[in-house]
Amino acid sequence: MPRREATALDRAMARIVASIPRGRVATYGQVAVLAGSAGAARRAGSWLRELPPASKLPWHRVVNAGGGLSPRGDGSALREQRLRLEREGVSFDARGRIRLADFLWDPFARRSRSPMRSSRRK
Partner DNA sequence: GTTATGACGCCGT
Partner DNA sequence: AACGGCGCCATAA
Q: Which is nearer to DNA, 18 or 65 (CB)?
A: 65
Residues written for the chain = 122
CA–CA separation, 34 vs 102, rounded Å? 20
x/- site string to DNA, residues 5 to 24, per CB under 7 A?
Answer: --x-x---------------
DSSP string of 21-36? PTT-BEEHHHHHHHTT
CA–CA separation, 61 vs 84, rounded Å? 9
CA–CA separation, 110 vs 93, rounded Å? 28
Contact window for DNA (CB under 7 A) among 26-34, 86-94, 98-106, 111-119? 26-34
Report the 10 Å Cβ neighbour count for 34: 19
Q: Select from 1, 3, 116, 117 the one that contacts DNA (CB under 7 A).
A: 3
- Residue ranges in 43-62 that form contacts with DNA under rule CB under 7 A: 43-46, 48-49, 51, 59-60, 62
Please give the residue ranges that form the binding site for DNA (CB under 7 A).
Answer: 3-4, 7, 9, 27-30, 37, 39-46, 48-49, 51, 59-60, 62, 64-66, 70-73, 77, 81, 95
